[in-house]
Structure 1
Amino acid sequence: MNRHYHTVVIGGGCLGAACAFSVQRGLGNKSGKVAIIEKKVLGAGLSSRHSAIVRSANASPMAARMAKMATQYWKNLKPLWGVNIPYEQSGAIWIAENAADSRAESWTALEHMLQQEGIDFAMVSHRDVLELSRQALKTVPDEIYYYEPDVLQLDSPQILNAMQTAAKKTRVDVLEHCDVIDFEHAGQGITALHTSQGKIFAEHVINAAGAWSADLFAGIGLNIPVALEPVYAANFLVSVHDIPEGMPIIADYVNQAYFRRWRGSILHMHQPRSRNAKDIARSFSRTAMNPEGANVIYDALSFNVTQQQLDNYLGKVINRFPKIGKPVYAGGYHSFFDITPDLKFILGPDTEFTNLYHCLGAGQALKYAPIFGEIIADLITEGSVISNAIDIEEFSIGRFSNNDLSRYWQANALTQNGL
């Protein structure tokens, strides 16, 4: 039996869910229904492996502004989703090299820009870092440090539970184990989706499919430049004597690692996205040559790690946390960032199909999910809740219209601080 929806969201990760909940709330109970189409189960993709760090620091002023708003939404999620989730406001210490070149200047510029946006992000002394970390961190003269107090730690399982509960509360239909096979379109609009569960008509379509987007929309002539960049995450058992409870998240751009203490006695770590142009180009090449496409995310081999990878991470832990000695390995896995050539989001209306909207997080989906949902809902329901404060033009898919991706790799900024 054919089904009709006001809005169909493709992708049941945190971004797709946030969009669905916000659009359904904007429509009310009498103006139409919203559905999420998910090929596995709600939250089964990269959202289930997210490190769940919510921070505002970003090299783009507009992205930083949105992140600040998203942080406040995460603290009080119930008006948006009908549920709240627990969080810890641990803050974050940012570590960079005190280089006598433009890199140090770019951190100073970042500090100034974020403070103009009302984000508490300021340089701190070595003594401050030792006090904040309760003497757990090693500091050296060649490093500079910044502190961002309004950084949250969430927990992925709790987020997934909130998504499932919110879907029921908001009365969003969730069609799980449902593959999108093809689209019907007339003129400049998508009229229907052919799925493994039948034909579905939609007035509006939201693409929140992440790394599946490129293959999904290629059949109707859309070029959506998203690739997968692998990231290794590892967990180590720690003692409160080694790393105290309540220690801030450590964003270590000297060792290229994020550290956070979570679930009581685990030091969790992963690497940040690479901003190297060659690495980004390799990720796009690897994605193009991968016959599984984004389904590689579900490969059981993703949960295997090599001794070389483990030794590399052990070295990073020992270098930054000298009191630990030899950390006790407690498991690791490969995950992925879904990235764009310039590492910025793809957010807003499509340039070809007037009823298609993109919501792709470029490796930063979870932290922005609530605000992205509100932005997309405003576009679809013609609301104005946040339109006066946010300009999403720099994140438009139209910036890739000439298909010359190499210029984004070459321009990929060492000035962007890796944020």
Structure 2
Amino acid sequence: MHKYFHTIVVGGGCLGVAAAVSLARRQGARNRVCLVEKAVLGAGLSSRHSAIVRSANASSIAATLAAKSTGMWKDLSNLWGARVACDRVGGIWIGAGSPSTDDPNPWRDLEVSMKGVGVDLHAIDQAEVGRLTSGKLRLDPDELYFFEPEVLQLEASDVLRAMQEAIAVNRVELYEHTRVEQFLTDGQGAICGAKTNHGELRCDFIVNAAGGWSANLFAPLGLRIPVALEPVYAANWLVSASDLPENLPIIADYVNLAYFRRWRGSILHMHQPRERGPHGIAASFARSMMNPVGADIIYDAANYAITQQQSARYSDKVRERFPAVGRPIYGGGYVSYFDITPDLKFILGKDDHVANLFHVLGAGQALKYAPIFGELIAELVLEGHTRDWDLEEFSIARFTDKPLREFWRDEGASQSLNRL
């Protein structure tokens, strides 16, 4: 005997939860949505993010979506029925380039682009940086500084609690410790269900929110889901409370290639940004293709510590940007991953081969987009289109019949801007 659902969402991270909750809420009393997770809710990359919500992005559409999502995070109780605390700390972006020259610079171009779509990202001088950070940052005349006031800081544990509460409040049927072993098809190219280790589930629609597991999961159907995993190292440093201002903005340091945030009292949390060089992206895809355990590498116990070499390198970055800290005390670190696509844009929308399959894959940016992506997937599934957004830029169709190497040929783009 199998169970029937209107929609099966595969993947219990923040995007899967957002999609399931939005679908369930819109269906109301007719709700028949289930969420299938091979481990436990939030056990994958959603358990290791730094919980920063920002909007500035090289893609104008992505920036607009992120700004919309930021507002949703602030009002999550009305959207999901679960509240999450949001600290509006703002974010300081640090890029290379002297403010005394009018030479073309991608950071200035980004400021103009963001102004055009209503995202507040504006240049600030060293005096303003000093005021915002209580003079704790080392500044350089050959750097540019921008401030994004709407950047939010969340807590990962609070986000996980909100995800769990939202699933319960909206009556999404949750299947944890449930592996999809095979997708069932109707003989006409549509997926009609899934065979799992806990029995068969039947459905009208499937939403793929499985992130790094997507490629292996859908390969038996002949589908190519171009997602790979890029390792990212995070470290926590114990510093004196007097060395960090109480309301330290997020510091996105693209000179030293590190994000910094104040965390849990006086801990300085840091992680590296995504790799944007073509060779680095290609290397991540090569590693993923050669990895026999696939995305399950995320659960490898060895990933819960970083090496001495990595720790030393990060310590240097802390001392370079926060000179008052002196020699920071290492308070623990871990390896996380970005799930990336060949062009580093997310995959959002209908599959181009299977009519009732939809993808919501975050390309390393899942958290900040989760509320708006959930709403967009619900619109696509229930109405067949989105009312206010053109998502063609993020369609999986852009990869159809195109060798992945084509996405890594152009190395002329500015790497500092492309890291956003």
TM-score by length of 1: 0.97
Q: How far apart in 2 are the matches of 1:340 and 1:15?
A: 16
Match of 2:368 in 1: 367
Cα deviations by residue, 1:34-80 (Å, 9 ceiling, x for unpaired) = 00000000111000001000000000000000000000000000122
| 2:206 is aligned with 1:199 | no
Match of 1:133 in 2: 133
Q: How far apart in 1 are the matches of 2:352 and 2:261?
A: 40
Q: Residue 99 of structure 1: CA displacement?
A: 6.4
Match of 2:403 in 1: 404
Q: How far apart in 2 are the matches of 1:114 and 1:140?
A: 25
Q: How far apart in 2 are the matches of 1:178 and 1:99?
A: 54
Q: How far apart in 2 are the matches of 1:270 and 1:93?
A: 15
Q: How far apart in 2 are the matches of 1:383 and 1:362?
A: 24
Q: Residue 184 of structure 1: CA displacement?
A: 1.4
Match of 1:279 in 2: 280
Please list every run of 5 or more consecutive structure 2 residues that lacks an aligned counterpart in the other structure. none
Cα deviations by residue, 1:8-28 (Å, 9 ceiling, x for unpaired) = 000000000000000011111
Q: How far apart in 2 are the matches of 1:255 and 1:125?
A: 19
SS of the aligned residue for 1:113 comes to: helix
Match of 1:5 in 2: 5
SS of the aligned residue for 1:191 comes to: strand
The AA in structure 2 aligned to 1:333 is Y
SS of the aligned residue for 2:193 comes to: strand
SS of the aligned residue for 2:150 comes to: coil
SS of the aligned residue for 2:221 comes to: coil
Q: Residue 106 of structure 1: CA displacement?
A: 1.3
Q: Is the 8 A contact 2:97 2:105 kept in 1?
A: no
Cα deviations by residue, 1:272-322 (Å, 9 ceiling, x for unpaired) = 001010000000000011111000000000012211100000000000000
SS of the aligned residue for 1:219 comes to: helix
Q: How far apart in 1 are the matches of 2:277 and 2:98?
A: 18
SS of the aligned residue for 2:246 comes to: coil
Give runs of aligned pairs for residues 62-211 of structure 1, distance below 5 A: 62-98=61-97, 105-185=105-185, 186-211=187-212
The AA in structure 2 aligned to 1:40 is A
Q: How far apart in 2 are the matches of 1:104 and 1:212?
A: 41
Q: Is the 8 A contact 2:2 2:199 kept in 1?
A: yes
Match of 1:249 in 2: 250
Give runs of aligned pairs for residues 212-231 of structure 1, distance below 5 A: 212-231=213-232
Q: How far apart in 2 are the matches of 1:102 and 1:226?
A: 39
SS of the aligned residue for 1:241 comes to: helix
Could you say if the C-alpha distance between residues 371 and 103 of structure 1 is closer, same or farther in structure 2, counting changes exceeding 3 Å? farther
Q: Is the 8 A contact 1:107 1:417 kept in 2?
A: no
SS of the aligned residue for 1:235 comes to: strand
Could you say if the C-alpha distance between residues 14 and 5 of structure 1 is closer, same or farther in structure 2, counting changes exceeding 3 Å? same
The AA in structure 2 aligned to 1:15 is L
Q: How far apart in 2 are the matches of 1:394 and 1:217?
A: 22
Cα deviations by residue, 1:160-180 (Å, 9 ceiling, x for unpaired) = 111111111000001000000
Give runs of aligned pairs for residues 329-408 of structure 1, distance below 5 A: 329-382=330-383, 387-388=387-388, 390-408=389-407
Q: Residue 188 of structure 1: CA displacement?
A: 2.6
Number of residue pairs matched? 416
Q: Is the 8 A contact 1:377 1:383 kept in 2?
A: no
Match of 2:40 in 1: 41
Match of 2:18 in 1: 18
SS of the aligned residue for 2:192 comes to: strand
SS of the aligned residue for 1:261 comes to: strand
Q: Is the 8 A contact 2:98 2:141 kept in 1?
A: no
Q: How far apart in 1 are the matches of 2:149 and 2:408?
A: 33
SS of the aligned residue for 2:15 comes to: helix
Q: Residue 383 of structure 1: CA displacement?
A: 7.8
The AA in structure 2 aligned to 1:396 is S
Residue identity over aligned pairs, in percent, reads 53
Which has the larger displacement, 402-411 or 202-211? 402-411
Match of 1:50 in 2: 49
The AA in structure 1 aligned to 2:342 is P
Cα deviations by residue, 1:318-345 (Å, 9 ceiling, x for unpaired) = 0000000000110000000000000000
Q: How far apart in 1 are the matches of 2:22 and 2:240?
A: 41
TM-score by length of 2: 0.97
